[in-house]
Amino acid sequence: MLATRLSILIPVYNEASSVAAVLDRVVAASASYFEAEKIHADLIVVDDGSRDESYLAVQEFSRARPEVCLKLIRHETNRGKGAAIRTAISHAQGDFCIIQDADFEYDPADYPRILQPLLSGDADVVLGSRVLNTALRRPFGFWQAFANRAITTFAGLAAGLDLSDVETGYKAFRTSLAQTVPLKSDHFGLDPELIIQFAKRHARVIEVPISYHGRGRDEGKKIGVRDGFAAFGAILRSWLFSAAYTDPAADMLVAMSRAKRFNRWMADTIGPWIVGEVLELGAGIGNLTVLLSSGRHRYIATDTHKEHLYELRSRVDHRPNVELAVCDFSDPADAERFRESADTVVCLNVLEHVADDLAGLENIHACLRPGGTAIILVPQGPQAFGSMDEVLEHKRRYTVEELKGKMAAAGFQVEQITFFNRATWPGWYLNSRILRRRTLSRLQLRVFDLLVPVWRRIDSRLPWPATSLIAIGIAAH
Q: What is the pLDDT of residue 23?
A: 97
pLDDT in tens, 239-253: 999 999 999 999 998
Residue 62 shares a structural domain with residue 192: yes
Residue 119 shares a structural domain with residue 150: yes
Q: Tell me the residue type at 15.
A: E
Residue 210 shares a structural domain with residue 144: yes
- Pick the last residue of a domain from 241, 272, 307: 241
Bridge partner list, 418: 470
- Pick the last residue of a domain from 241, 261, 280: 241
Residue 75 shares a structural domain with residue 211: yes
∠146-148-152 over CA atoms, to 5°? Answer: 120
Q: What is the pLDDT of residue 185?
A: 95
Residue 306 shares a structural domain with residue 444: yes
Q: What is the pLDDT of residue 405?
A: 98
Residue 378 shares a structural domain with residue 396: yes
Q: Which of 168, 151, 165, 166 is nearest to 227 (CA)?
A: 151
Q: What is the pLDDT of residue 30?
A: 86
Residue 15 shares a structural domain with residue 69: yes
Residue 93 shares a structural domain with residue 31: yes
Which CATH number fits the domain that encloses residue 421?
3.40.50.150
Q: Are 293 and 347 in contact (CB under 8 A)?
A: no
Residue 313 shares a structural domain with residue 222: no
Q: What is the pLDDT of residue 272?
A: 96
- CA dist., res. 136 & res. 28, Å (int): 20
Q: Which of 347, 370, 372 is nearest to 276 (CA)?
A: 372
Q: What is the pLDDT of residue 217?
A: 53
Residue 165, phi-psi category: left (phi > 0), alpha (psi -120 to 50), beta (remainder) = beta
- CA dist., res. 180 & res. 173, Å (int): 12
Q: Which of 133, 140, 302, 162 is nearest to 221 (CA)?
A: 140
Query: Within the chain, which residues score under 70 in pLDDT?
Result: 1, 133-143, 215-225, 477
Tell me which residue range forms the domain holding 269. 249-475
Q: What is the pLDDT of residue 139?
A: 60
- Three-state SS for 418? strand
- Pick the last residue of a domain from 188, 213, 241: 241
Residue 442 shares a structural domain with residue 372: yes
Count of structural domains within the chain:
2
Residue 190 shares a structural domain with residue 275: no
Task: Tell me which DSSP letter residue 104 carries.
Answer: S
Q: Are 347 and 361 in contact (CB under 8 A)?
A: no
Q: What is the pLDDT of residue 223?
A: 62
Number of C-beta neighbours around residue 295 at 10 A = 7
Q: Which of 133, 166, 135 is nearest to 151 (CA)?
A: 166
Torsion of CA 37, 38, 39, 41, to 10 degrees: 140
Which CATH number fits the domain that encloses residue 157?
3.90.550.10
Residue 306 shares a structural domain with residue 206: no
